[in-house]
Amino acid sequence: MDSDDLRYSCQIALPGFGEDGQQLIKQAKVLIVGAGGLGCPAAQYLVAAGVGTIGIADFDVVSTSNLHRQILYTSADVGKKKVSIAAEKLSQQNPTVQIIAYDVRITSDNVMDTISGYDIVLDGTDNFETRYLLNDACVLTGKPIVYGAIYQYEGQAALWNVNNADGTFSPNYRDLYPKVNAALVPNCADGGVIPTLAGIIGCIQANEVIKYIVRSGDLLVGKVLVFDALALQSRVIKIGNVTQTNIKDIQPTQLTSLMTIAEVKVGLAENKLELVDIRTDQERDVIDIGGFHFEADEFEEYETYLNSPAVKVLYCSSGKRSAEAVKAIKQKWPSAKVFSMEGGLKAWFEFEKHAN
């Protein structure tokens, strides 16, 4: 028995899998977008299974607050590029798998080129703009995409845009959520997440990829799995067999106006900008760094203030809610001088820690 046969012997022995299934896995090309809480476990198990080519796209760096759920990284990796660390460690895990690293932010300008060489896409992102962008790109190119999302104690997973036997396509993300005001929805960094949930949903995503490649089992097509980590219960919600959406093109990516912590510090010292806290009242009661305050979903009540000449820098816990709020404000009032503080309060306090 050669080393490959030995490595994969337990899955080859599965009923309905065999050598043919392993050959399909070896020939498969899977793109993982997001090397975070979902992308890490999904990548590890797909690499372990022997998927021939795995692409990983991520532009972020490892931060201390990632470590409890992003299990590819250690304290020594803080500040380094996630995609570089992930590619290195995954290559060590299984040297026979080709790992392709994309150190890029997925945008409307590069999404089609990035997904073009892959058979299936795994969405491990944590923001709505990229999630819709990947969904729409996969619909337009006829590629399946595995969805996963986690928040606090609940996770979701589904397999979108699968070609049905009659030539139609199964539902996609827009069939479930046609449009969401992302500024109103907290992310993991703001609302919290139990770390094991990331592993559970990430593994379910990897499982769907393997089932799709090997053409076995009951896929999460036309339905959504909802998992409750507290109750340890799951339910599958049927949403239909055929998509009801009509996606015709890719919407241009709206680049958020960002300011780094260093830029904010300088601007404050020179009285050239003012801070705006867009977190909830409860969050502000725990800790804040000053500035004007209103909650993200209240911005339309402050039209006069937001359109005044002063430069305003919005902040939240992680920078994600404030980025979405800035997009919403700029969409309504394009000339508003609003920016998002990159990395939020977590980055602010890390900056101060290293500066002292």
Kindly calculate the radius of gyration of the chain based on its CA atoms and give it in whole angstroms: 22
Active-site residue, 40 included? no
Q: Which of 10, 138, 203, 316 is catalytic?
A: 316
Q: How far apart are CA 314 and CA 344, in angstroms?
A: 9
Pair of tokens at residue 127: 């923001």
Determine contact, residues 190/321, Cβ cutoff 8 Å: yes
CB 63, CB 346: distance < 8 Å? yes
Residue 288 CA, distance from chain mean position: 27
Alpha-carbon span 302 to 239, nearest angstrom: 39
Amino acid identity at 20: D
10 Å Cβ neighbour count for 249?
8
DSSP 98-136: EEEEE-S---TTTHHHHHTT-SEEEE---SHHHHHHHHH
Q: Are 176 and 239 in contact (CB under 8 A)?
A: yes
Alpha-carbon gap, residue 275 to 313, rounded angstroms: 5
Helix intervals (H) in the chain:
3-7, 9-12, 18-27, 39-49, 82-93, 111-115, 128-141, 173-176, 188-191, 195-214, 261-269, 281-286, 303-306, 320-332, 344-355
Q: Cα–Cα distance between 264 and 326 in angstroms, integer? A: 16
Distance CA 93, CA 44 (A): 8
| Annotation marks residue 203 as catalytic | no
Which one of the listed residues 10, 40, 188, 203 is annotated catalytic? 188
Which residues are annotated as catalytic? 188, 316
